[in-house]
C-alpha cells in the first residue's frame, strides 16, 4: 500500500471525526462520538492504527507522524467540546439557579506579608514611620557609610551578590566619555544586591535632619549556605532612632516590647555582646524558641550608632546619638507559627500556605 493512500485514509478519518465532534448537540451524543471514533477497543482510530501497521519501513515515519497529529487534534477538539457542553447554560428566562455553582477560590496573604504588615503596625504604635530603600545598592550605602572599610571581610565578593562587572566597566567608560568622572564612587561604582537593610539608615539620614525614628522592611540577599534557619534571600526589619540623649536601655526596651507584642509574653529575649562596624557598643539578640530555656534562635543585631556613621551622613555626634537594630523577619514568623524550616516560606506548597 502506498503512503499516499494511507495518508488519505488518515485525512478522511480526521475530517469525519472532527465533523462528528463539532455537530454533537449534547453530552450524550458527544459520548457516542467518542466511543465510535476514539474508543480504545473498537473505535475507528484503533482500526486505522491496525491498518497503518501494514505500512512499509520507509513509509512508517511519515505515516506515524501524521497519525499522531490527527489523534492529538481530534482528542483536543473532543475535550474542548466536552468543556463547552458542561458549562452552565442560561435557561430561556435567565440564569438557571438549579445548576451547580462554580467554586470561587479565595486567595490569602503570604505568611511573611502578614508578618510584615503586623511589624509595621506594632512599630507604628511605638512612633516609628516606614522608610524604603532600593534592593540594588552601591558600596557607599551597603558598606562605606556604615563604617565598613574596603579591606573588611564583609565586603568579600564571595560573601555578596555583586552585579555583573561587565556592566560596571561599560558604565565607567560611558562616564569618562561624558566627563562625569568626578561623580562619587557611590554613583559610578559596582552595584550589589543589598546584604542588609542598614543601607536605608544611611539613605534616610542623608536626606533628613535629626531627629529620626524609622523602620524599613525588605528583602536582603546573601550567598549563605541554605539550611533550616538560613536562606540566600530573606527579609529584615531595620530600626533607627536618632535624637538627643538616646540610650542602650531604650534600645533594649523597644526590642523587648516589640518581641512581646508580636510573639506574646512567654518569649524571653536575651542580649549578647557582639560587634558591628556601624554600632558601638553592639549586641546580638536571641529569642527563646520554647519554654525549656535550652533552645535559642538569633533574631537580630543592634547597638548604639557609631559616631563615624553619624559623621558620614553629616550629623554632629556631639549633639545627637542613636540606636539601630536589624531583625530577621522569617525567624519571628517561624517561632510564632512553629514553622520548623525557613524553606517552607519559598516552596510555594499550597498545603503549607493555606494554613495562614
Positions in the binding site for ligand FA5 (CB under 6 A)? 196, 198, 222, 224, 230-231, 234, 236, 276, 279, 282, 298-303, 324-326, 328, 330-331
Q: Least separation, in Å, of the C-beta of 225 and ligand FA5?
A: 8
For the record, the C-alpha cell of 79 comes out as 475535550
Closest CB to ligand FA5 among residues 34, 300: 300
Q: Which is nearer to ligand FA5, 99 or 228 (CB)?
A: 228
Q: Determine whether 9 is exposed, middle or buried from the number of CB atoms within 10 Å of its CB (0-12, 13-18, 19+).
A: middle
What is the rounded CA–CA span in Å between residue 337 and residue 110? 13
Residue (59 or 286) nearer to ligand FA5, CB: 286
With b meaning 16 or more CB within 10 Å and e meaning fewer, what string describes 38-66?
A: beeeebbbeebeeebeebeeebeeebeeb
Considering the complex, state which of residue 111 and residue 326 has its C-beta at the smaller distance from ligand FA5: 326
Which one, 34 or 194, has the nearer CB to ligand FA5?
Answer: 194
**Minimum CB–partner distance for residue 141 and ligand FA5 (Å):** 12
List beta partners, residue 90: 95
| Residue with the shortest CB distance to ligand FA5 | 328
Min separation Cβ 302 and ligand FA5, Å = 5
Alpha carbons 129 and 262: distance in angstroms, whole number: 18
Least distance CB 10 / ligand FA5 (angstroms): 59
Q: Which three cell numbers stand for residue 1?
A: 500500500
Cα–Cα distance for residue pair 308/145, rounded to 1 Å = 8
Q: Shortest Cβ distance from residue 323 to ligand FA5 (Å)?
A: 8
CA distances from 289 to 104, 225, 292, 294, 343 (A): 38, 22, 8, 8, 18
Shortest distance, position 314 Cβ to ligand FA5, whole Å: 19
Q: Which lies closer to ligand FA5 via its Cβ, residue 71 or residue 195?
A: 195
Q: In sequence order, which ranges of 210-287 are alpha helices (DSSP H)?
A: 248-263
Which strands, in side-by-side order, build the sheet including 191-193? 136-138, 191-193, 161-162
Interatomic CA distance for residues 140 and 340, integer angstroms: 37
Strand partners, 276: 279
Which residue from 154, 162, 167, 219 is spatially nearest to 191, judged by alpha carbons?
Answer: 162
Cα(267)–Cα(258) distance, rounded to whole angstroms?
11
Nearer of residues 190 and 300 to ligand FA5, judged by Cβ: 300
- Extract the C-alpha cell encoding 30: 458527544
Give the nearer residue to ligand FA5 in terms of CB position, either 31 or 280: 280
Amino acid at each position: 500500500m502506498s503512503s499516499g493512500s494511507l495518508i488519505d485514509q488518515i485525512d478522511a478519518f480526521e475530517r469525519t471525526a472532527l465533523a462528528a465532534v463539532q455537530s454533537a448537540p449534547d453530552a450524550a451524543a458527544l459520548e457516542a462520538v467518542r466511543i465510535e471514533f476514539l474508543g480504545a477497543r473498537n473505535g475507528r482510530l484503533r482500526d486505522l492504527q491496525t491498518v497503518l501497521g501494514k505500512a512499509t519501513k520507509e513509509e512508517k515515519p511519515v505515516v506515524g507522524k501524521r497519525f499522531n497529529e490527527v489523534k492529538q487534534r481530534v482528542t483536543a477538539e473532543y475535550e474542548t467540546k466536552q468543556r463547552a457542553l458542561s458549562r452552565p447554560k442560561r435557561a430561556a428566562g435567565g440564569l438557571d439557579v438549579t445548576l451547580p455553582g462554580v467554586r470561587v477560590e479565595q486567595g490569602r496573604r503570604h505568611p511573611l506579608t502578614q508578618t510584615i504588615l503586623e511589624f509595621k503596625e506594632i512599630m507604628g504604635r511605638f512612633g516609628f514611620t516606614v522608610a524604603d530603600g532600593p534592593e540594588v545598592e552601591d558600596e557607599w550605602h551597603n558598606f562605606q557609610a556604615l563604617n565598613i572599610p574596603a579591606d573588611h571581610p564583609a565586603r568579600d565578593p564571595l560573601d555578596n551578590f555583586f552585579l555583573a562587572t561587565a556592566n560596571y566597566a561599560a558604565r565607567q567608560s560611558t562616564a569618562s566619555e561624558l566627563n562625569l568622572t568626578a561623580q562619587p564612587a557611590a554613583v559610578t561604582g559596582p552595584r550589589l544586591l543589598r546584604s542588609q537593610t542598614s543601607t536605608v539608615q544611611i539613605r534616610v539620614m542623608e536626606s533628613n535632619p535629626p531627629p529620626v525614628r524609622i523602620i524599613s522592611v525588605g528583602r536582603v540577599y546573601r550567598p549563605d549556605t541554605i539550611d533550616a534557619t538560613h536562606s540566600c534571600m530573606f527579609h529584615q526589619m531595620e530600626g533607627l532612632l536618632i535624637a538627643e540623649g538616646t540610650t542602650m536601655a531604650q534600645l533594649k526596651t523597644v526590642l523587648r516590647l516589640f518581641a512581646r507584642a508580636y510573639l506574646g509574653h512567654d518569649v524571653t529575649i536575651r542580649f549578647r555582646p557582639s560587634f558591628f562596624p556601624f554600632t558601638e557598643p553592639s549586641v546580638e539578640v536571641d529569642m527563646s524558641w520554647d519554654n525549656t530555656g535550652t533552645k535559642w534562635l538569633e533574631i537580630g543585631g543592634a547597638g548604639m550608632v557609631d559616631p563615624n556613621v553619624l559623621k558620614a551622613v553629616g550629623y554632629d555626634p556631639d549633639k545627637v546619638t542613636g540606636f539601630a537594630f536589624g531583625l530577621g523577619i522569617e525567624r519571628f514568623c517561624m517561632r510564632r507559627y512553629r514553622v520548623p524550616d525557613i524553606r517552607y516560606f519559598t516552596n510555594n506548597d499550597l498545603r503549607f500556605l493555606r494554613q495562614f
